[in-house]
């Protein structure tokens, strides 16, 4: 009887830990878009599909948020995300992260040049990938609700 109770408690503890762990399902497509590789491109539908596949829910105003669980990305968890495509063809995909610092995200994405134009207390980073693509890793403070951001910007 003791063994059965012990086994039951271990199973329950393991399933609780798994349920509380951040999800990494489907983040590959989102990570690929955010890598902002030269000559890469995306449509509104492709970006939204990648955000939804990662476990984010589309809310009002074009914002995506994790509902019912955490979404792990670049060592942190996603607070919110958005995709913007302007009529002239300029595009940007933004993800706001919690529990990870901008320098850590920057190193993961090979974005190490300090963005002197960023108006942040901690350093933010920028990498001009090619003539059209720019990858931004922004620093933020906890009072802003997130700790770092990643933006792939494609000029029209």
pTM: 0.81
Q: For residue range 12-35, what is the model confidence (pLDDT) as tens digits?
A: 333 333 333 444 558 999 999 999
Q: For residue range 34-47, what is the model confidence (pLDDT) as tens digits?
A: 999 999 999 999 99
The phi, psi pair for 18, rounded to 5°, reads -65, -40
Range list of β-strands (E), the chain: 56-58, 63-66, 72-73, 76-85, 91-98, 113-114, 125-128, 133-139, 148-154
pLDDT of residue 25: 52
pLDDT by residue, tens only, the chain of 156 residues: 555 443 433 333 333 333 334 445 589 999 999 999 999 999 999 999 999 999 999 998 889 999 888 999 999 999 999 999 999 889 999 999 999 999 999 999 999 999 999 988 899 999 999 999 999 999 987 678 899 999 999 998
Task: Tell me if 93 sits within 8 A of 33, measured CB to CB.
Answer: yes
Enumerate the domain spans of the chain. 24-154
pLDDT of residue 104: 96
Q: Which residues pair with 152 in a beta bridge?
A: 93, 135
pLDDT of residue 121: 87
pLDDT of residue 130: 96
Q: How far apart are CA 125 and CA 105, in angstroms?
A: 10
């Amino acid at each position: 009887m003791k063994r059965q109770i012990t086994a039951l408690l271990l199973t329950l503890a393991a399933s609780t830990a798994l349920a509380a762990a951040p999800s990494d399902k489907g983040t590959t497509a989102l990570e690929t878009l955010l890598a902002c590789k030269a000559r890469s491109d995306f449509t509104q539908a492709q970006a939204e599909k990648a955000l939804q596949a990662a476990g984010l829910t589309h809310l009002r105003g074009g914002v995506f948020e994790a509902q019912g669980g955490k979404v792990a990305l670049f060592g942190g968890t996603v607070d919110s995300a958005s995709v913007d495509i302007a009529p002239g063809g300029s595009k940007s995909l933004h993800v706001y992260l919690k529990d990870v610092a901008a320098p850590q995200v920057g190193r993961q994405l090979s974005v190490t040049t300090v963005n002197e134009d960023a108006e942040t207390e901690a350093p933010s980073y920028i990498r001009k990938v090619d003539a059209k693509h720019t990858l931004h890793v922004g620093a933020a403070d906890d009072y802003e609700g997130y700790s770092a951001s990643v933006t792939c910007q494609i000029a029209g």
